[in-house]
Amino acid sequence: MFAPYLLDSWIVASLVALASGCAGFFVVVRRASFAAHALPMAAFPGAAAAALFGVGQVYGVTAAAFGGVGLLVWLKQRQRSDAATALVLVALLALGALFLSLSGRYADAVYALLFGQIFGAGAADVLPALALALLVPLVLLAGFRPLVLSALSPDLALVRGIQTGRVDMLFLAVLALAAGMALPVTGALLVFSLMIGPAGAACALARGPFAALALSVALALGLIWSALALSYLTDWPAGFFTGTLAAVLYVGARLIRR
């Protein structure tokens, strides 16, 4: 389980959990679970296009995730319904499936991008993950007060001169980075579980925002480490354990709270 050839997988997974746990706290506070689920869907065709054109996956994922931010903002400004937004995301998934089919690596690539393949991480994945793992918490912590205040009391935020539109854009951009970084680990369909499960449990247990943020990061690290260990021992997919343990973690926290 701790063999040298698996060291990169453990490092990348830990960096992903660090950024996801931090971003997940703001996702829960700002009630942005739909965005946390939608952005990985938008990033999926970018990863598929990267496989088709032979460029680095991190670049394709990041570019597509930022495109998803623009799409979500446009749909919100146009006041489109959730059904319209969902149909656009389904179309993006279909586009990603087309790119993978044209690349000639359809079956394996679909499985890896949808459900994750953390044990396939290598040394080349460590540096991009490290850069994003540092950037995501730093930006979110720098904007901690406006991000939280605009979510809990929008009127008070406006009185204090906080431009909520810019805050939303900043948050979605950082969330896109976190989603793009976590996509190769947990896959597009389960990436949001690493954000929502630990953060939701932390907000249910902690008594203050900073305590909840720290607990969210700690729970995300424990979650991904447990998922990797169980996956190695059982030979079952790590994505399965990530999603299942996230749900168990949240339900357990709510029961303790009650």
Task: Please give the model's pTM, rounded to 2 decimal places.
Answer: 0.81
End-to-end CA distance of the chain, in Å?
37
Listed range (28-32, 121-125, 138-142) with the worst mean pLDDT:
121-125
Q: Which amino acid is at 83?
A: A
Structure tokens at 65: 């995730």
What confidence tier does 240 reach under pLDDT thresholds 50, 70, 90?
A: confident
Residue 101 to residue 193: CA distance in whole angstroms: 27
**Cβ 194 vs Cβ 227: under 8 Å:** no
Percent of the chain scored above 70 by pLDDT?
80
Q: Who's near 65: CB < 8 A, 6+ residues apart?
A: 39, 40, 42, 43, 46, 176, 177, 179, 180
Question: What does the pLDDT average to over 84-89?
Answer: 69
Q: What is the pLDDT of residue 221?
A: 93
Q: For residue range 98-108, what is the model confidence (pLDDT) as tens digits?
A: 887 787 665 56
pLDDT grade for 213, boundaries at 50, 70 and 90: very high
Helices (H), the chain: 7-29, 33-53, 57-77, 82-103, 106-115, 123-142, 144-152, 154-159, 164-186, 191-205, 209-234, 238-257
The residue that leads in pLDDT, 169 or 121, is 169
- What is the per-residue pLDDT for 248? 92
Q: Which residues contact 231 (CB under 8 A, 6 or more apart)?
A: 118, 119, 237, 238, 240, 241
Fold observed for domain 4-257: ABC transporter involved in vitamin B12 uptake, BtuC (1.10.3470)
User: Average pLDDT, stretch 192-210?
Assistant: 88
> What percent of the chain has a predicted confidence (pLDDT) above 90?
12
Q: For 125, list phi and psi in degrees, rounded to 5.
A: -85, -15
pLDDT at 179 over 60: yes
* Dist. CA 13–CA 119, nearest whole Å: 9
* Choice among 55-59, 145-149, 227-231, 241-245 with the minimum mean pLDDT: 55-59
Q: Structural domain boundaries of the chain?
A: 4-257
Average pLDDT over residues 164-193: 75
**Residue 219, pLDDT score:** 94
Q: What is the mean pLDDT of the chain?
A: 79
Q: Is the pLDDT of residue 2 over 90?
A: no
How many whole angstroms separate alpha carbon 41 and alpha carbon 120?
21
User: What is the C-alpha to C-alpha distance for residues 165 and 120, in angstroms, rounded to an integer?
Assistant: 39
